């Protein structure tokens, strides 16, 4: 299968930085001790949650129409989108009308994560996991904790559909639905309505 390129070219191509408050994204940072993740609730033409994991100096991104679930029996579709700059993890605000992804964006959850992908007793690097179509990681967020897997079930050309599944651990739950019950920003405590108003 084709190797994934880590690049902000598509991100930059899609945006007019004079008109959108989103970060330009200059720097790809060096390998950190603890990579970061962010989940942004995004009320664009359709509501979705964008999961972004720091891999190779960028935020590798998936759009999850229904958001993450804590129930290991539930598979959530996650569509891979363009890589975003690291600074995007701190972006909360309103993308103006007419711009790509127009609508308010909330930092719903953020924190660090650990790569838990192990094969033949050896850790599999994140970029290798992307190529294999299998990532396993432990989130240390404010709303989400515990292990998740992202699996790419279909390797046909151009296929961007992955599945996000909660692993069985003490953080799994069939009852808790944080996407529906924890509706405030992890960054500013604001509601989506307030972000929409204040920008
Ligand atoms: Mn989005």
Query: Which residues fall within 8 angstroms of residue 163, CB to CB, at 6 or more apart?
Result: 75, 76, 77, 78, 150, 151, 152, 153
CA of 120 to the centre of ligand 1 (A): 36
Task: Record the pTM.
Answer: 0.93
User: How far apart are the CA of 160 and the centre of ligand 1, in A?
Assistant: 15
Q: What confidence category does residue 26 fall into, taking pLDDT thresholds of 50, 70 and 90? A: confident
Which pLDDT tens digit goes with each residue over 83-137?
A: 999 999 999 999 999 999 999 999 999 999 999 999 999 999 999 999 999 999 9
Per-residue pLDDT at 28 exceeds 80: no
Distance between Cα 130 and ligand 1 center (Å): 20
Residues having C-beta closer than 5 Å to ion ligand 1: 42, 50
Residue 62 alpha carbon to ligand 1 centre in Å: 8
CA–centroid distance, 136 to ligand 1, in Å, is: 22
Strands of the chain (E only): list them: 36-43, 47-55, 58-64, 75-84, 93-95, 103-115, 118-119, 122-123, 134-141, 145-151, 161-166
Give the side-chain half-sphere CA count within 13 A for 64. Answer: 24
Q: State the distance from the centre of ligand 1 to the C-alpha of 89, rounded, in angstroms.
A: 12
């Amino acid at each position: 299968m084709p190797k994934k390129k880590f690049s902000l070219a598509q991100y930059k191509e899609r945006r007019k930085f004079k008109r959108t408050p989103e970060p330009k994204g200059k720097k790809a940072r060096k390998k950190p001790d603890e990579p970061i993740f962010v989940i942004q609730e995004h009320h664009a033409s359709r509501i979705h949650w964008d999961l972004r994991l720091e891999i190779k100096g960028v935020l590798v991104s998936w759009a999850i129409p229904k958001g993450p679930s804590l129930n290991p029996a539930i598979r959530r579709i996650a569509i891979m989108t363009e890589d975003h700059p690291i600074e995007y993890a701190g972006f909360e605000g309103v993308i103006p009308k007419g711009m790509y992804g127009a609508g308010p964006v909330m930092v719903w959850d953020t924190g660090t994560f650990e790569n838990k992908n192990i094969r033949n007793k050896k850790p599999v690097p994140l970029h290798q996991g992307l190529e294999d179509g299998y990532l396993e990681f432990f989130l240390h967020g404010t709303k989400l904790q515990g292990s998740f897997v992202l699996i790419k079930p279909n390797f046909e050309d151009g296929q961007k559909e992955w599945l996000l599944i909660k692993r069985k651990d003490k953080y799994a739950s069939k009852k808790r639905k944080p996407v529906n019950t924890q509706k405030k920003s992890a960054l500013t405590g604001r509601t989506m309505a307030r972000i929409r108003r204040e920008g």
